[in-house]
């Protein structure tokens, strides 16, 4: 059993202290929101999961806070911006400085115990030249930035996992293997895939699995991608193993169609399959826009919390709908009654950039301002209300904070 513990989070905090040497502000971090602070909706309402308890959390209960972000997709203009920042930091460095792109969101990520992100463009290690669309290869400095921000679970199963071929895939595994994170999504053998990754803290064990239902290159051209490419038989076996070693099973899945808020029949089918298997939380991504969040009840009675698409976390995609993403946050609570998922909340985010395609910065929507909204470099519409509407039109109120209701 692969296992990471709260030691990793402490190691990350240590790294953060060390990384305080270089500070570059986002393009407009001085902006303030006029929105009121948000409180979660129905925050105290526990939801019965497959582990089933109806008891709201109380002092003394074990609680692990989980947060999950969508696609971190490093286009050429993003890493060029990071290169320019590296030249401007307090102690100029070679390479790329991505850290400040996440400054406004960092406190939210760091408040979580388990912070998951889909690293859509692979980080293949030193020796690989940076590249953007269509065959992405992302500088190692992005890996450092993600760890500094507070992410400790990196999803690598997505349609770009073969952009640098099997060599790049192996480089990605090598890059992450000695870092204080868990890499989920690339397995080099069936046995490795069946060796379930488990995050453990406060006596709560959370299993992590990751699959992709989309690949840009056929899985048959790779010695390894087949272990990650979604099929029901593999998922059944691995979810069963995960349930044996953990209290909660989270599955990340890359699926659906790009640039549409509509769900595909394949997404619905797979979500129902995973719910039926007893997966507790399904984290979807790939459409590059947000899609609905639902509690799915399978025909055998099992329930899963499913976010169909978290949207983009960071990218250079052009549509205003591509710049609005979200993080899913929830608590895993363990007490005498069992284990439950509570305080489920969507935290909308927006990737800001200027019309000259610089100043990349990820904001929580509630810290974003109307003034920044009108200077956003994405395609229209660019009003603050338009950005908010991508969330309010697609996400049920029960998962939204007060300022968006």
| Residues that bind Zn ion in the complex, under the rule CB under 5 A | 158-159, 286
Query: With contact defined as beta carbons under 8 Å apart, do 153 and 185 qualify?
Result: no
Q: Which is nearer to Zn ion, 155 or 206 (CB)?
A: 155
Taking the complex as a whole, how short is the minimal distance between the CB of residue 38 and Zn ion, in angstroms? 29
Taking the complex as a whole, how short is the minimal distance between the CB of residue 76 and Zn ion, in angstroms? 17
Q: Which is nearer to Zn ion, 83 or 219 (CB)?
A: 219
How many Cα atoms are found within 13 Å in the side-chain-facing hemisphere of 218? 2
Query: With contact defined as beta carbons under 8 Å apart, do 152 and 181 qualify?
Result: yes
Taking the complex as a whole, how short is the minimal distance between the CB of residue 285 and Zn ion, in angstroms? 7
Q: Which is nearer to Zn ion, 74 or 277 (CB)?
A: 74
Taking the complex as a whole, how short is the minimal distance between the CB of residue 226 and Zn ion, in angstroms? 18
Query: With contact defined as beta carbons under 8 Å apart, do 294 and 316 qualify?
Result: no
Provide the token pair at 91: 């102690």
Q: Which is nearer to Zn ion, 241 or 286 (CB)?
A: 286
Taking the complex as a whole, how short is the minimal distance between the CB of residue 149 and Zn ion, in angstroms? 21
Taking the complex as a whole, how short is the minimal distance between the CB of residue 396 and Zn ion, in angstroms? 24
Tell me the C-alpha distance between 239 and 245, whole Å: 10
Query: With contact defined as beta carbons under 8 Å apart, do 118 and 285 qualify?
Result: yes
Q: Which of 288, 305, 284, 307 is nearest to 296 (CA)?
A: 305
CA distances to 29, 61, 338 from 53, rounded to whole Å, are: 42, 12, 5
Partnered with residue 328 across adjacent β-strands are 68, 346
Q: Which residue has the tokens 């293997």?
A: 177
Q: Which is nearer to Zn ion, 310 or 404 (CB)?
A: 310
How many Cα atoms are found within 13 Å in the side-chain-facing hemisphere of 239? 24
> What is the DSSP secondary structure assignment for residue 53, as one 8-state letter?
-
Q: Which runs of consecutive H residues, i.e. helices, occur in 210-365?
A: 232-245, 265-277, 320-323
Taking the complex as a whole, how short is the minimal distance between the CB of residue 126 and Zn ion, in angstroms? 25
Q: Which is nearer to Zn ion, 278 or 287 (CB)?
A: 287
Partnered with residue 330 across adjacent β-strands are 66
Taking the complex as a whole, how short is the minimal distance between the CB of residue 120 and Zn ion, in angstroms? 5
**Bond into 381 cis (ω within 30):** yes
Provide the token pair at 262: 């509509």
Tell me the C-alpha distance between 4 and 2, whole Å: 7
Q: Which residue has the tokens 């406004």?
A: 104
Taking the complex as a whole, how short is the minimal distance between the CB of residue 254 and Zn ion, in angstroms? 6
Taking the complex as a whole, how short is the minimal distance between the CB of residue 127 and Zn ion, in angstroms? 25
Q: Which is nearer to Zn ion, 51 or 157 (CB)?
A: 157
Q: Which is nearer to Zn ion, 309 or 320 (CB)?
A: 309
Nearest residue to Zn ion, by Cβ distance, number only: 286
Q: Which is nearer to Zn ion, 286 or 303 (CB)?
A: 286
Q: Which is nearer to Zn ion, 127 or 134 (CB)?
A: 134
- Cα Rg of the chain (Å, integer): 20
Full DSSP string of 228-267: TB--HHHHHHHHHHHHHH-SEEEEEEE-S-TT-SSPPHHH
């Amino acid at each position: 059993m692969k296992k990471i513990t709260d030691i990793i989070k402490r190691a990350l905090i240590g790294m953060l202290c060390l990384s305080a040497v270089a500070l570059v502000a986002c393009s407009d971090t001085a902006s303030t929101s006029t929105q009121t602070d948000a409180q979660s909706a129905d925050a105290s309402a526990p939801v019965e999961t497959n582990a089933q308890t109806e008891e709201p959390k109380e002092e003394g209960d074990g609680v692990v806070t989980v947060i999950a972000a969508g696609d971190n997709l490093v286009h050429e203009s993003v890493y060029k911006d990071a290169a320019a920042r590296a030249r401007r930091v307090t102690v100029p460095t070679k390479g790329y400085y991505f850290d400040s792109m996440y400054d406004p969101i960092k406190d939210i990520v760091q408040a979580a115990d388990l912070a998951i992100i889909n690293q859509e463009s692979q980080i293949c290690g030193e020796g690989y030249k940076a590249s953007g669309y269509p065959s992405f290869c992302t500088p190692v400095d992005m890996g450092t930035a993600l760890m500094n921000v507070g992410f400790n679970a990196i999803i690598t199963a997505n349609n770009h996992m073969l952009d640098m071929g099997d060599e790049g895939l192996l480089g990605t595994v090598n890059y992450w293997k000695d870092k204080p994170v868990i890499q989920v999504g690339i397995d080099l053998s069936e046995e490795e895939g069946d060796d379930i990754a488990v995050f453990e803290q406060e006596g709560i064990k959370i299993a992590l699995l990751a699959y992709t239902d989309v690949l840009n290159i056929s899985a048959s051209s790779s010695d390894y991608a087949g272990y990650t490419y979604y099929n029901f038989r593999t998922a059944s076996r691995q979810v069963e193993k995960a349930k044996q070693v953990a209290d909660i099973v989270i599955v990340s899945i890359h699926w659906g169609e790009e640039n549409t808020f509509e769900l595909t029949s394949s997404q619905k089918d797979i979500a129902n399959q995973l719910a039926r298997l007893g997966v507790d939380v399904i984290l979807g991504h790939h459409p590059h826009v947000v899609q609905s969040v639902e509690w799915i009840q399978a025909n055998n009675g099992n329930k899963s919390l499913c976010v169909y698409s978290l949207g983009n976390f960071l990218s250079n995609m052009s549509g205003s709908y591509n710049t609005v993403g979200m993080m899913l946050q929830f608590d895993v609570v363990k007490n005498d009654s069992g284990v439950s998922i509570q305080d489920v909340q969507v935290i909308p985010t927006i990737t800001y950039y200027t019309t000259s395609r610089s100043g990349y910065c990820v904001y929580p929507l509630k810290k974003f301002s109307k003034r920044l909204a009108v200077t956003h470099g994405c395609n229209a519409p660019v009003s603050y209300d338009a950005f908010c509407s991508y969330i309010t039109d697609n996400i049920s109120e029960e998962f939204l904070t007060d300022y968006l209701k």
